[in-house]
Amino acid sequence: MGVPEGITPQMSEEPVASDADLVRSVLDGEAGAFTLLVDRHAAACLRFAARMLGTREDAEDATQEALMRAYRALPTFDPRTSFRTWLFSILVNRCRTSLLRTSRRERRIRLESDAVERAYVESQANALELQVEISRALMTLPSELKEAFLLKHLEQLEYEQMAEVTGLGVSALKMRVRRACARLRRELEELHHAR
Amino acid sequence: MRVDGLLEKAIAQLQTPVPVRASWRAALLREIAAAPPPRREEPRAFVRRVRWTLHPTVAIAAAVACLAVGLASGVLLSRTRAASSADASSSAELTTVRFVIDAPSARQVSLVGDFNRWDASANPMRPSQDGQSWIIEVPLSRGRHTYAFVVDGDVLRDPSAPTLVDDDFGVRNSIIFVGDGRT
Amino acid sequence: MIGRRSACLFPIAAVMTLAFWGDSARAQQTNQREATLRLTPATRSVIDAVADSLAGAGLPWAVLYDKAAEGVLKGASEARIIVVVRALAVRLRESRRLLGDAASADDLSAASSALYAGVSPALLRRAATTRSERPNAPSLSLTLTVLAALVSQHVPPEIATASLESLLRRGARELDLREFQRGVEGDIGGGSPPVDAATIRTQHVLQTIDSRRTPE
């Protein structure tokens, strides 16, 4: 049995507070409880935003905005629902806004080594090359397909959760994931053979 | 969905964690600390407790006077509204629309939709003369409306009308566009 | 016996009664909130917060209460109702972003259905732009509703959008779009591949439009 969602495994025998417990604590005046929520979820948010937006800078901005909005909107969070899903619905919205802003200026796919380093580097040369290929392939996807693909295969959300996050119907989401996988596969095969 | 080798590798690569920069984390926590703390919302109340020093008798008298004025205005307003509903078929704003559904063995059928807040008791339909179908005429404003029928407790869409794509609650609704006096 | 403190509430209650009774918009708001009275206070509070947020952004909030009432009628759990209401709010915001401030509540609802069905923001904007270029075109809400219906029947969004654009540019009326939608759905129901159904029906309706122009 895996660890329930929203719980950080601990080595000690202290009871682990759920996300809903931590939200309750924040609303009761314990500001430090939100720091625990940040530490639990920020990395996943940052990773999703980085894959979605392409640069660390944009990812950090979107994640920061999402966490601040979540903090301010905590009184509206329903403890019967998943905090992670709720947070991601805010984050997805922030990413969409960010993409709208960047689509107004010309966006080029930057593959210079410093851009890759700024994104998410830390590997041997082969893995780095694969990373560049994947970044490039991902960048060719329309944003709505990329979003669905990342929520499904990166965040591993169920379709019902994805529907909650994106506002779309389940069948529309399945169609988008299917199309994203098909396009990514084609792109990766082309890039792979072009090596 | 089957994910093949190349995609699998891609996904594994994408799952590489993105390190959280300490400086970024610190800046975020500073911003949170500076923000007003979120507080549980008070239950919404239309009447707030106010410390007024007013003799109860004076207060009640004033209240009765206000209520009398309010009631008079309300009656006038609802009469005006009722007049426009009864005259719906000739009003420029409302169009009378007839809904019909074939349900010969039904005991009770009603019309529900965004025009009656999906209230199954608001628009009960009447059986046709031959008992094969159920009918109702409803004044609707111009534009787009979603609706369904409740047939002996079951919510059903209109088989003769276009279907709305949204199926949030498992049962799709029907849709109707009310135009300039025509549907 | 009415105490001083309780009695002080009466003038306030009376003034509030007068305000609500005389203000039809407020009365409507109260009615719509009453429709969700069969929900627990916690759920109502969440829906109120989402509605307030939309209202603050100048977006139609009443549809959220309609949606909640629909969920109550259909026996959905409160958790599900909250999820659906939130998702609808997300789509309405997105629709406003795509269609602009001039879009009506009907337009936004239709756009949100199109998004729900999987029409991409770019295609939605394209369909809306094409439609706006035609004088006397069918309403935007009808156009987007037909688009959503086609996509939900697995007509690829690009094909569905291109078909509608062809019809609009040729001067299609409301009846033409409805005939088009019915025809495509009927053909798909009869076993035609969605792409074929959309392509063939587009040609049929274009011929119908052209024949109206031909002098007798």
Does residue C88 belong to the interface with chain A, where contact is any CB pair within 8 Å?
yes
Residue B163: the pLDDT is 80
**Cα-based angle A183, A186, A192 (whole degrees, multiple of 5):** 135
Q: Do A181 and B24 touch (CB under 8 A)?
A: no
Strand, helix or coil for residue B130: coil
Instruction: Report the Cα–Cα distance between both ends of chain C, in Å, rounded.
Output: 86
Q: Which of A46, A67, A76 has its CB closest to that of B18?
A: A46
Nearest by CB: B63 against C13, C21, C148: C13
Q: Are A141 and A43 in contact (CB under 8 A)?
A: no
Interface mutation vs chain B, best among C17, C47, C61, most B CBs within 10 Å: C17
Q: What is the pLDDT of residues B105-155, one digit of tens each?
A: 999 999 999 999 999 999 999 999 999 999 999 999 988 999 999 999 999
- Mind listing the pLDDT tens digit for each residue in C29-44? 555 555 556 888 888 8
The CA distance from C116 to the nearest CA of chain A, in Å, is 4
pLDDT band of residue B80 (cuts 50, 70, 90) is: very low
pLDDT of residue C31: 54
Per-residue pLDDT for C69 more than 90? yes
A52 and A146 in contact (C-beta within 8 Å)? yes
Residues ≥6 apart with Cβ < 8 Å to B144: B175, B176, B177, B178, C106, C109, C110, C141, C142, C145
Q: For the residues of C100-155, what is the DSSP string, one character each?
A: -TT--HHHHHHHHHHHHHT--HHHHHHHHHHHHTSTTPPPHHHHHHHHHHHHHTT-
Q: CB-CB: which of B6, B27, B165 is closest to A185?
A: B6
The rounded distance, in Å, linking the Cα atoms of C144 and C114 is: 6
Measured CA to CA, the distance from residue B53 to residue A80 in angstroms comes to: 44
Quickly count: other Cβ atoms within 10 Å of residue A65's Cβ. Answer: 18
Q: How far from each other are the two terminal CA atoms of chain B, in whole angstroms?
A: 43
Please check whether residue C117 touches A, CB under 8 A: yes
- Give me chain B's average pLDDT, please: 76
Higher per-residue pLDDT: A83 or C25: A83
Which tops the pLDDT comparison, A78 or A85? A85
Nearest to C120 among A75, A100, A144 (CB): A144
Q: Per this entry, what is the length of chain A?
A: 195
Using a CB–CB cutoff of 8 Å, tell me whether A81 touches chain C: yes
CB contact under 8 A, B66 and C18: yes
Catalogue the long-range contacts made by C101-104 (C-beta closer than 8 Å, 24 or more residues apart).
Answer: C101/C58, C103/C140, C104/B143, C104/C140, C104/C141
Cα(C169)–Cα(C137) distance, integer angstroms:
9
With tokens 């700024």, the residue in question is: A118
Query: Tell me, what's the pLDDT at B161?
Result: 83
SS3 call for B97: strand
Closest CA to A192 of A136, A122, A149: A136
Q: Give A173's contacts in chain C (Cβ within 8 Å).
A: 118
List the beta strands (DSSP E) in chain A. Answer: none
Contact C49/B41, CB-based, under 8 Å? yes
Percent of chain B as helix, strand, coil, to the nearest 5: 30, 25, 45
- Residue in chain C lying closest to B145 (CA): C106
Q: Is the pLDDT reported for residue B162 higher than 60?
A: yes
pLDDT digits (tens, 9 = 90+) for A108-150: 444 433 444 444 444 445 566 777 788 888 888 988 899 999 9
C124 Cα to chain A: minimum distance (Å): 13
**What pLDDT digit, counting tens, does each position of C156-209 carry?**
999 999 999 999 999 999 999 999 999 998 899 888 999 999 999 999 999 999
> What span, in angstroms and rounded, lies between the C-alpha atoms of A161 and A145?
16
With vertex at residue C94, the alpha carbon angle to CA C162 and CA C82, rounded to the nearest 5 degrees, is 125
Q: Give the integer Cα–Cα distance in Å for C115 and C131.
A: 17
Beta bridge partners of B146: B175
| Nearest residue in chain C measured CA to CA from A166 | C87
Q: Which residues contact A121 (CB under 8 A, 6 or more apart)?
A: A128, A131
* pLDDT at res. C167: 94
Please name the residues in contact with C201: beta carbons below 8 A apart, sequence gap of 6 or more.
Answer: C163, C180, C183, C184, C187
Helix (H, G, I), strand (E, B) or coil at B142: coil
- Proportion of chain C above pLDDT 90, given as a percent: 52
